[in-house]
Amino acid sequence: MSAETIALIVAAGKGERVGGDTPKQFLPLAGLSLVEHSRRALAAHPGIDRVVTVVAAGNEALVEGQTAIGGATRRESVLNGLEAIGAAGRVLIHDAARPIVPATVIDRLLTALDSARGAVPTLPVADTLAGKGAGKSDSLGDTVDRSTLVRVQTPQAFDYAAILAAHHAWPIGEEATDDAQILRRAGHDVAMVDGDQLLDKITYPGDIALAEARLGANMRVRTATGYDVHRLVAGEQLWLGGVLIPHDKGLSGHSDADVALHAITDAVLGTIAAGDIGQHFPPSDSRWKGAESGQFLEHAASLVVAKGGMIDFVDLTIICEAPKIGPYRDAIRDRVAALLRVSREQISVKATTTERLGFTGRGEGIAAQAVVTIRI
Ligand code: CTP
Ligand code: MG
């Protein structure tokens, strides 16, 4: 029997209460989809061996890593996922709609699981609770004693064999909104550990903005600059900001010599003090000969995300006498935004001449400088 600890994320819902065309779990939150936030947090925890994400058929490409296909209800999606896993020692079942997963909660769950078949994070209820629809449908019913109640969150941790058996024993035709109630119905105790407000579920429009604010609350702003120059020569293509621009000359260099992407890449690396582009992609390495510079920028951005940071803003200045950058401004914004997985509004592109002065003025080369702001 496998002793693996597996995290199972259910992401096969329609997100009807949030609304819109894209199910909420695929909406962006600080540069990553909701589901990718929790997937990374779970995958990064040393107590978790692998993560499987349950998605609706056809949505497999919207998530990274291993996937399974969901069902018509949350309960069915979990059951499909459990069966797809095949064998495991322990499983943590998590809603993709809860993007922020503190490692401390996972620690508490795994510890509690040493002496129980199931463990869930809970929080006390702060508001007064009451029934509704007493007499008239819009009048309040009796108050419920909140001291006997808790809010139950995910991830919920289980002995794999016990939760799988409990799902199989669940009565046909009944639904369950979580898995702890399914384990309890099978006669097992479920331990409670302290939950966390950060785990609150995204359910209604507006919840994402709140999650973004919570994510940002503990982050610091960092700003860094990047600068680069390449020589303009005949017979080369001119790549600027990931866009091929028609011109009688192009930039020469070891890679595609995209001076704008190089400046942005250096600025991104600067925000996490991760050295510079030459250190990560040495010109002496033949792998980078003629390479598309987009991959350098994507790599730098992935280092920021891996450290828990998010890219807020890029301000790029291209310094050249010709060509005119204005007609390509939005194409460059879109390309840089796609590489960084942010929106066009977060990318500013400016250009200036140097009044025919210096090497840029004489058309011998193009310079670029960038300022990048992140939160981490
Ligand atoms: N879920 C699922 N399969 C379903 C229904 C729900 O995997 N058939 C998942 C959702 O993707 C979500 C979690 O279960 O991560 C909790 O469900 P909920 O918050 O209700 O999400 P949705 O069902 O997508 O939203 P809504 O009820 O507003 O449509
Ligand atoms: Mg639902």
Strand positions, DSSP E, 12-89? 28-29, 32-33, 50-55, 66-69
Give residue 263's Cα distance to chain centre.
25
User: How long a stretch of residues is the chain?
Assistant: 376
For 256, the token pair is 């595609």
Q: Rounded to the nearest 5°, which phi and psi values hold at 48?
A: -110, 125
Q: What is the mean pLDDT of the chain?
A: 95
pTM of the full structure: 0.74
Strand partners, 240: 243
Radius of gyration over every alpha carbon of the chain, rounded to an integer in angstroms: 26
CATH for 221-375? Answer: 3.30.1330.50
Strand partners, 373: 223, 313
For 214, the token pair is 């919570």
Instruction: Provide the phi-psi class of 86: left if phi over 0, else alpha when psi is between -120 and 50, else beta.
Output: left
What's the average model confidence in pLDDT over 151-162?
98
Q: Rounded to the nearest 5°, which phi and psi values hold at 46?
A: -65, -20
pLDDT of residue 189: 97
312's CB contacts (< 8 A; 6+ apart) are 221, 346, 373, 374, 375
The response to whether residue 17 sits with its C-beta less than 6 Å from ligand 1 reads yes
Nearest alpha carbon, ligand 1 atom 14? 74
Q: Report the separation in Å between the CA atom of 200 and the middle of ligand 1, taken as the mean of its atom positions.
A: 14
> Alpha carbon of 73 to those of 54, 202, 257: distances in Å?
12, 17, 51
Q: Which of 24, 33, 55, 74 to mutate to test the pocket of ligand 1 (most atoms within 8 A of CB)?
A: 74
The response to whether residue 201 sits with its C-beta less than 6 Å from ligand 1 reads yes
Minimum mean pLDDT among 10-24, 265-279, 303-317: which range? Answer: 303-317
User: CATH 3.90.550.10 spans which residues of the chain?
Assistant: 5-130+142-218
Distance from C-alpha of 275 to C-alpha of 303, rounded to nearest angstrom: 12
For 79, the token pair is 């059951």
CATH for 5-130+142-218? Answer: 3.90.550.10
Question: Which ligand number lies closest to the CA of residue 78?
Answer: 1
H or E element at residue 84:
helix 74-85
User: CATH 3.30.1330.50 spans which residues of the chain?
Assistant: 221-375
pLDDT of residue 258: 98
pLDDT of residue 1: 53
What's the average model confidence in pLDDT over 268-277?
98
